[in-house]
Amino acid sequence: MNSLSLREQLLSALGGAAGILATAALALWLFPALDPALPWLIASMGSSAVLLFAVPHGPLSQPWPLIGGHLVSALIGVACARWLGTDLWSAAAAAGLSIGAMHVLRCLHPPGGATALTAVIGGPSVTTLGFSFVLLPVLVNALTLLVLAVLWNAPWSWRRYPARWARRTPPPDPDSHPAPLESRHLAAALRSMDSFIDVTEADLQRIYALATEEAQHARSAAPPIVVGQAYSNASFGSDWEVRQVLSLDETGDPPMTQVRFRRLAGAGRRCEGECDLEAFRHWAVQAVERDENSWRPVT
């Protein structure tokens, strides 16, 4: 499903090389007197470079997973090496505990597992550092790679990192009727994004099928549309609205029911609007009523 352009592939490859080169160069520049036997660049940063430069919009590539994942894994790895030794059982404990901690802290970053292992089986040059291993090289390496990823991806709007800075397609009109999606439409959309999406075709189709099933279930449970009743779309933030139905009128040939409504809360408050009944049913998630200073669902 991932048909990347040659431009995108080159940007990923060159960015990864530049990121690792800059990370290593900065560590050597900051600590010129560092013992050559000590690690100034850990191998797990190579895996992080793959994520940050080849999959910059992936959830595992974002700043908190990068920094948090490496730091918590390094702490756990050093603790295991110090208190459990540097044998196989300690290495297994470091990897398992780091995965669990990253889950709990919402900073899952696969290279973090390699960082935890490095702290245990990296040899005397690593174990002699103790907990200072967490700051140098781990924190310095991760922060340098983060800054380079931001700078490298900044010139291209579709690659900007972190993901929240990337160009986003405006959401569809909630009153419109989207055409049914097919597998070829999903494939075409992915090609137009020209970005590596970490999902298989089968997974993507299953996600769409489950989402469609959920939407149909929600529509079957939608409240009846009656004049005078207020309805909410149950969204969050600036997308949330409450609309009151003013009238239901049949127009056209063949006849079609038009809904005229007034916005009671949210964007466009006190403004009136109009749409067909099917579009309003698609928008209205629940009937609501005023409860002092808030709106609550009608039971």
End-to-end CA distance of the chain: 45
- Pairing type for strands 256-266 and 241-251 reads antiparallel
Buried b / exposed e along 69-91 (16+ C-beta atoms within 10 A): bbbbbbbbbbbbbeeeebeeebb
Q: What Cα–Cα distance (Å) separates residue 161 from each residue in 67, 145, 150, 156, 266? A: 14, 12, 5, 10, 31
Q: Which of 93, 147, 114, 149 is nearest to 41 (CA)?
A: 114
Asked if omega into 224 is within 30° of 0 (cis), the reply is: no
Q: Which of 231, 200, 208 is nearest to 297 (CA)?
A: 231
In total, how many domains does the chain have?
A: 2
Q: Are residues 57 and 139 in the same domain?
A: yes
* Pair of tokens at residue 203: 């997974």
> What pLDDT is stored for residue 291 in this prediction?
83
CB 20 within 8 A of CB 95: no
State pTM to two decimals.
0.67
What does DSSP say about strands 286-291 and 256-266: parallel, antiparallel, or unpaired? Answer: unpaired
Q: Last residue of some domain: 139, 163, 187?
A: 163
Contacts of 189 (CB under 8 A, 6+ apart): none
- Helix 44-54 vs helix 63-83: angle between axes, to the nearest 10 degrees? 170
Instruction: Among 163, 183, 213, identify where a domain stops.
Output: 163
Q: Could you give the 3-state DSSP secondary structure of residue 96? A: helix
Q: Is residue 159 part of a domain?
A: yes
Range of the domain at 250: 230-297
**187-223 pLDDT per residue, tens:** 777 676 667 776 666 777 777 778 777 767 766 667 8
Q: Is residue 111 part of a domain?
A: yes
Give yes or no: residues 49 and 156 share one domain: yes
Helix (H, G, I), strand (E, B) or coil at 110: coil
Same domain for 133 and 33? yes
Q: Does 238 fall in a domain?
A: yes
Q: Are 67 and 143 in contact (CB under 8 A)?
A: yes
- Answer with the one of 163, 182, 201 that is the final residue of a domain: 163
Which three-class secondary structure state does DSSP give residue 243?
strand
Is residue 159 domain-shared with residue 243, that is, in the same domain?
no
* Residues 151 and 289 grouped into a single domain: no
- Asked whether residue 26 falls in the same domain as residue 134, the answer is yes
Residue-wise pLDDT tens digits, 74-99: 999 999 999 999 999 999 999 999 99
In the sheet that holds 256-266, the strands lie side by side as 272-276, 256-266, 241-251, 230-232, 286-291, 294-297
- Does residue 34 fall inside a structural domain? yes
Please indicate, yes or no, if residue 175 is contained in any of the structural domains.
Answer: no
The pLDDT profile of the chain, 299 residues, written as one tens digit per residue, is: 557 788 889 999 999 999 999 998 888 887 765 556 567 889 999 999 999 999 998 899 999 999 999 999 999 999 999 999 999 999 999 999 999 999 999 999 999 999 999 999 998 888 888 999 999 899 999 999 999 999 999 998 888 899 888 765 555 555 455 566 666 777 777 676 667 776 666 777 777 778 777 767 766 667 889 999 999 988 877 788 999 999 998 887 777 889 999 999 988 888 999 998 988 988 888 899 988 778 888 87
